[in-house]
Amino acid sequence: MIAVDHASARIPKRLGSLGLSPRDLERHIAWDIGALAVAQRVAAKLDAPLVAQNYSRLVVDCNRDPGVTTSIPVVSESTGIPGNVGLSAAEAAARRREIFEPYHAQLRALLDEREHRGEQSVLVAQHSMTDVFKGARREMHAAILYNRERRFARHVLQALREERGLVVAENRPYALSDATDYTVPRHGEARGLPCVEIEIRQDLIRSEAGQAEWAERIGSALAEAWRRFGADR
C-alpha cells in the first residue's frame, strides 16, 4: 500500500495563501513535487492501493505527530509562514480534525481491511526531496529511509543500488524516526509490517518522462525486494 503524505500544495479557501506568494507555494516547502505522479504509476504497476493527502504540509503536516512543533510550522526551511503564527488551540485542532485525522483514518481502515481478509501488506511512503538544500547540492538520486523495521527497506536499497550509475543514500539526508515521521512508525512499524520510506530528488521527477522512468524503477525494486524478503522468511 502506497501513502503520499505531501501530495499537493492545496490550501483550504478560508486560509487564503497562509500569507505566502504563489511562487512559495510551488516550492518544496509546500509539497513533495512529483511524488504523487510517481506513486500513481507505481500503484498501477503493482496493482496497489494508494492514499494521498491533498492538502499542503504547511496547513498541517500529515507526516508529523500532532504534538510536535513542526506539525503546523511557523518557519519552513528559511521561509516564515505568516498564516501559521499565533494560531489558537481551537484553530490548530480544526486543521488536525479536518485534514490529519481523516487521512490517517483511511490508512488504518485499508490496512485493517486487508488484515481481516488475511492479506499481507507492505507500506511504502513515497516522498521527494530538493536537489539543492540551503545552497548545498545533493548528489544522491534517491534515498531509502527506515527506523526499527529495516529488513524490507534494505532489500529495496539493495535492488536500487544494483543499477549502475545510480546513487541511492541510506537514511540520508534524513533519518526516519518517531520525532520526524508519523506514517511509517504508526501504520507500518506499529503493526509489524514490512515498510519503507522512499525519497526521490525532485529535479529528476518534475517532467512526465522522469516520473514514468522513476515509477518503473521503483516498482521493479519493490517487486524484487518483496521476492527477496519472502525468501528470507
Mean pLDDT by 10 residues, the chain (233 residues): 98 96 94 98 97 97 94 92 96 97 98 96 97 80 95 97 96 90 96 97 97 98 95 77
Q: Long-range contacts of range 209-216, CB-CB < 8 Å, 24 or more positions apart?
A: 210/34, 211/34, 211/37, 211/38, 211/41, 212/41, 214/38, 214/142, 215/37, 215/38, 215/39, 215/40, 215/41, 215/42, 215/45, 216/41, 216/45
107's grid cell? 490508512
Beta carbons of 196 and 152 less than 8 angstroms apart: yes
Angle at CA 115, nearest 5°, toward 109 and 119?
125
Give which of 64, 82, 80, 73 is closest to 127, Cα–Cα: 64
Place of cell 516498482: 219
Q: Omega of the bond prior to 194 within 30 degrees of 0, cis?
A: no
| Gyration radius from the chain CA atoms | 17
CATH ID of 2-232, from 3.40.630.40, 3.40.50.150, 3.40.50.2300, 3.30.420.40 = 3.40.630.40
Give which of 40, 17, 39 is closest to 30, Cα–Cα: 17
User: What local confidence, expressed as pLDDT, does residue 137 receive?
Assistant: 83
